[in-house]
C-alpha cells in the first residue's frame, strides 16, 4: 500500500518519481506557486483563489465550493504566520491525508515542524537533509 506524501514546489527530487512509479508513495501537490509539470497527484485545494490556482477550468475536478480550507487551516496560519501559500500547501497535505510533507523551506515551515506535526499528525522533513529519515518512515 502506498503512502501519501506532499512535496511543495521547492522540495522535489528525482528519487520521488521512482518511488511513485514503483507504488511506494503517492506524490501529492497543488499548484499554488506554479504550473504542474511533474508527476504527481492533484492534492485537494485549500482556501484557493483563482490567483492561487495555476490550473485551467477543465483541470479542476471539484466544484469551486469544495475548494475550502479544512478545519485546521486557521491553526496552521497561526503557526506559519505571513506566508499564506505555505499554509495552503500544508492544509492541502492535511486534506489529502498525507503522512509526510517534504520541503526545503527551513525559514517558514521546518522551523515550525514540531508544532505542525502535533496539530496535523504529518511528519515534516527537509527533502535533502532528512532523506534517510524519510526513507525510514516509508520502511524503505
User: For residue range 74-117, what is the model confidence (pLDDT) as tens digits?
Assistant: 999 999 987 778 998 999 999 999 999 999 999 999 999 999 99
| Alpha carbon distance 19, 91 (integer Å) | 23
The pLDDT value recorded for residue 61 is: 62
- Tell me: pLDDT of 56 over 60: no
The pLDDT value recorded for residue 129 is: 97
The pLDDT value recorded for residue 69 is: 82
Amino acid at each position: 500500500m502506498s503512502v501519501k506524501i506532499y512535496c511543495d514546489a521547492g522540495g522535489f527530487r528525482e528519487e520521488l518519481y521512482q518511488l511513485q512509479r514503483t507504488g511506494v508513495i503517492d506524490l501529492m501537490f497543488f499548484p499554488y506557486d506554479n504550473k504542474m509539470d511533474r508527476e504527481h497527484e492533484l492534492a485537494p485545494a485549500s482556501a484557493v483563489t483563482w490567483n492561487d490556482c495555476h490550473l485551467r477550468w477543465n483541470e479542476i475536478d471539484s466544484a469551486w465550493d469544495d475548494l475550502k480550507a479544512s478545519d485546521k487551516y486557521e491553526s496552521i496560519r497561526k503557526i506559519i504566520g505571513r506566508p499564506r501559500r505555505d499554509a495552503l500547501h500544508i492544509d492541502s497535505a492535511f486534506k489529502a491525508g498525507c503522512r509526510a510533507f517534504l520541503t526545503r523551506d527551513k525559514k517558514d515551515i521546518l522551523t515550525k515542524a514540531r508544532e505542525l506535526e502535533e496539530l496535523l499528525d504529518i511528519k515534516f522533513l527537509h527533502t535533502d537533509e532528512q532523506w534517510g529519515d524519510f526513507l525510514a518512515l516509508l520502511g524503505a
